[in-house]
Amino acid sequence: SAVISQKPSRDICQRGTSLTIQCQVDSQVTMMFWYRQQPGQSLTLIATANQGSEATYESGFVIDKFPISRPNLTFSTLTVSNMSPEDSSIYLCSVWGFTEAFFGQGTRLTVV
Amino acid sequence: TQLLEQSPQFLSIQEGENLTVYCNSSSVFSSLQWYRQEPGEGPVLLVTVVTGGEVKKLKRLTFQFGDARKDSSLHITAAQPGDTGLYLCAGVNNAGNMLTFGGGTRLMVKP
């Protein structure tokens, strides 16, 4: 199994600012995933982060808006840049643990 | 692109009722998983189905995988308020390291 610590758990931010979300895993993993989720709805994959290489972004998500760092095998950050109210959502990081996915508790972001 | 469609999107029932959630894929995944998510938490794995025709039971939850391995269902017997949550089906890719999620089913069980 894997234990994921994600922070902050929630934040309220002004439009035009940026927020960096941190994800710490208790074991070394090759791939880390960042998802966005509207409350009560399913998860949308933003990008896959591999250590030592640039993240791979899904359609509709770009690096300038959601820069990702992956400095080592246990840590990653996702930045939501130049925020607008449309970025209000829950952001989750995840890792694949051989047979199942493990998730952080999520960061609930509100942009005002 | 592999897609997973879940139905219904939302279900509100009384305690003690039975329900079924469906997950249909446009193609075959190596396996299919069901996750449950409660508010403020990340999804947690309930079950993995791999073989066509497979049936797995987890207390009052019964999971089925279609013979063609493109559809699955989750049946809950005698639902309880503790079953309330978001149920997600997810297909595992052929490399076995990535998920494609269905649209989710939000279940509310009223006492």
The 3-state secondary structure of B75-93 reads: EECCCCHHHCEEEEEEEEC
Interface test with A, best of B2, B7, B35, B101 (most A CBs within 10 A): B101
Q: Do B42 and A42 touch (CB under 8 A)?
A: no
Q: How far are the Cα atoms of B5, B83, B84 from residue B12, in angstroms, in the given order?
A: 19, 11, 9
- Residue B108: pLDDT band (50, 70, 90) is very high
| pLDDT score recorded for residue B95 | 84
CA-based nearest residue in chain B for residue A108 = B40
Cβ–Cβ gap A40/B106 under 8 Å: yes
Q: Cβ of B40 under 8 Å from any chain A Cβ?
A: yes
Task: Report chain B residues whose CB lies below 8 A from the CB of A102.
Answer: 42
Q: Which residues 57-96 of B have a C-beta within 8 angstroms of A?
A: 86, 88, 90
Task: Count the neighbouring beta carbons within 10 Å of the beta carbon of residue B34.
Answer: 24
Given a cut of 80, whether residue B11 has pLDDT beyond it is yes
Contact status, residue A90 vs residue A38, Cβ threshold 8 Å: yes
pLDDT at B94 over 90: no
Tell me the pLDDT tens digit for each residue of A1-59: 899 999 999 999 999 999 999 999 999 999 999 999 998 899 999 999 988 888 999 99
Cβ pair A42:B103 closer than 8 A: yes
Distance to chain B for A42, nearest Cα, Å? 5
- Å from A84 to nearest chain B CA? 22
pLDDT digits (tens, 9 = 90+) for B30-76: 899 999 999 999 999 999 999 999 999 999 999 999 999 999 999 99
Cβ contact, residue pair B98, A102, below 8 Å: no
- Which letter does DSSP use for residue B80 in this model? -
Paired strand residues for A73: none
* Residue B1 banded pLDDT, cuts 50, 70, 90: low
Binary contact (A31, B98; C-beta < 8 A):
yes
- At B2 the pLDDT is 60
CB B58 within 8 A of CB B47: yes
Whether the CB-CB separation of A91 and A34 falls below 8 Å is answered with yes
Model pLDDT, residue A51: 84
